C-alpha cells in the first residue's frame, strides 16, 4: 500500500495522463452510446414494434454476457480485417460503446414505456402530434430513468476501460497490466485504487447531474 502511494507521488504526470486517457475514452464511448441508444430505445417503444424491441434488448443483453477480454480480442481481428487500427483507442471505444449500450437502451425503453397512459392520453386528447407528445410529455417524464441508465453505463465503462490496456490502450488499466506482467504489487494497487476512486467520484458527480436535469415538478419535495 505504501509502495503504491510512493509510486503515485513519484510519477504524478504519468498518473494524471492515465486518468485523463481513462476519462476521455469513457466520455467518447458513452457519448456515442447515448447518441445511438436513446433514439433506438425510443424507436422500439412504438406500437407494433414489440418484436423488434424484444430482439434488440435480447441482443444487447447477450453482448453483456460476453467477457470483455473476448470482445477486445475479437475486435482486434475484425478491425484488422477491414483495415482499421486494431489496437489502441479505436477498438477500446468500440468495445465500450457495445457495453454502455444496454443500460442506456434498456432504461430509455423502460422509461418511455412506463409513462402513465393517462399522461399520454391527456396530451393526445389536447391535440399533440406524436412528435409533440414525445418531446413535451414522454421524454421529460423519462429523464430520471434514462439518466439512471446513463449513470450505470458511465460507471461501468470506467471499470471495463481498465481491461482495454491489454489491447494497447493506455488508461489506468496500464498500471495494473504492467503490475501483473512485472509482478509489481505497487502498480496493481495504484491502478486499481485509482479506478475505484474515479468510479466513485464520477458516480457522486453524476447523481448531482441527475438531480439537476430532472424536471423540477418531478423532484421529491
Partner 1 sequence: MIKLDRVTKVYPGGTEAVREASFEVEKGEICVLLGPSGCGKTTTMKMINLLIHITAGKIYIDGVDNTKIDEDELRRNIGYAIQDIGLFPHMTVRQNIETVPVLKGWTKAERAKRVETLLELVGMGSGEFIDKYPSELSGGQRQRVGVARALGADPPILLMDEPFGAIDPITRARLQDEFLKIQREIKKTVVFVTHDIHEAIKMGDKIALMNEGELVQYDTPANLLYRPKNGFVEKFVGADRALKGLQLIRVKEFMWGFPPTVKTDETAQAARQRMKREGINQMVVVGEGRKFLGWVEWADLEKGKMVSEIMKPSSDVATVDTVLNEALSIMLSTRLNNLAIVNEDNRLEGMLSFDAIRKALSETAQRGESE
Nearer to partner 1, 182 or 215 (CB): 215
Are residues 191 and 179 in contact, defined by beta-carbon separation less than 8 angstroms?
Answer: yes
Nearest to 149 by CA among 199, 110, 117: 110
- Specify the residue, 31 or 132, whose C-beta has the smaller distance to partner 1: 132
Q: Which is nearer to partner 1, 137 or 176 (CB)?
A: 137
- The cell for 37 is 441508444
Q: How far is CA 47 from the centre of its chain?
A: 28
| C-beta of 208 vs 219, nearer to partner 1 | 219
Torsion sign (Cα): 79, 80, 83, 86: positive
Distance of closest approach, residue 106 Cβ to partner 1, in angstroms: 22
66/209 with CB nearer partner 1:
209
Nearest distance, CB of residue 171 and partner 1, angstroms = 38
What is the nearest approach in angstroms of partner 1 to the Cβ of residue 40?
A: 24
- Residues 174, 89: Cα–Cα separation, whole Å: 13
The three cell numbers locating residue 171:
488508461
Quote the least distance from Cβ 117 to partner 1, whole Å: 10
- Is residue 8 a contact partner of residue 192, using CB atoms and an 8 Å limit? no
CA atoms within 13 A on the CB side of 28: 13
Q: How far apart are CA 212 and CA 205, in angstroms?
A: 11
Q: How far is the CB of 114 from partner 1 (least distance, A)?
A: 14
Using CB under 8 A as the criterion, which residues of the chain lie in contact with partner 1 when the complex forms? 116, 118-119, 121-129, 132, 136-137, 140-141, 215-218, 221
**Rounded CA gap, 17 and 27, in Å?**
15
For partner 1, give the closer residue by CB, 83 or 125.
125
CA gap 157, 182 in Å, rounded: 26
- In the complex, least distance from residue 136 CB atom to partner 1, rounded to whole angstroms: 8
Amino acid at each position: 500500500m505504501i509502495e503504491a502511494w510512493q509510486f503515485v507521488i513519484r510519477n504524478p504526470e504519468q498518473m494524471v495522463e492515465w486518468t485523463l486517457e481513462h476519462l476521455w475514452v469513457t466520455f467518447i464511448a458513452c457519448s456515442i452510446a447515448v447518441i445511438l441508444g436513446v433514439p433506438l430505445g425510443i424507436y422500439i417503444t412504438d406500437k407494433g414494434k414489440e418484436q423488434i424491441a424484444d430482439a434488440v434488448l435480447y441482443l444487447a443483453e447477450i453482448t453483456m454476457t460476453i467477457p470483455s477480454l473476448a470482445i477486445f480480442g475479437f475486435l482486434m481481428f475484425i478491425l484488422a480485417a477491414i483495415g482499421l487500427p486494431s489496437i489502441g483507442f479505436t477498438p477500446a471505444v468500440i468495445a465500450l460503446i457495445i457495453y454502455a449500450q444496454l443500460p442506456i437502451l434498456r432504461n430509455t425503453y423502460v422509461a418511455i414505456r412506463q409513462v402513465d397512459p393517462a399522461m399520454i392520453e391527456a396530451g393526445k386528447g389536447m391535440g399533440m402530434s406524436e412528435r409533440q407528445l414525445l418531446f413535451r410529455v414522454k421524454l421529460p417524464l423519462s429523464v430520471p430513468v434514462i439518466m439512471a441508465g446513463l449513470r450505470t453505463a458511465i460507471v461501468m465503462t470506467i471499470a471495463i476501460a481498465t481491461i482495454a490496456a491489454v489491447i494497447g490502450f493506455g488508461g489506468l488499466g496500464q498500471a495494473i497490466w504492467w503490475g501483473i506482467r512485472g509482478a509489481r504489487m505497487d502498480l496493481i494497487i495504484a491502478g486499481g485504487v485509482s479506478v475505484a476512486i474515479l468510479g466513485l467520484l464520477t458516480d457522486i458527480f453524476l447523481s448531482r447531474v441527475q438531480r439537476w436535469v430532472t424536471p423540477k415538478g418531478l423532484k421529491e419535495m
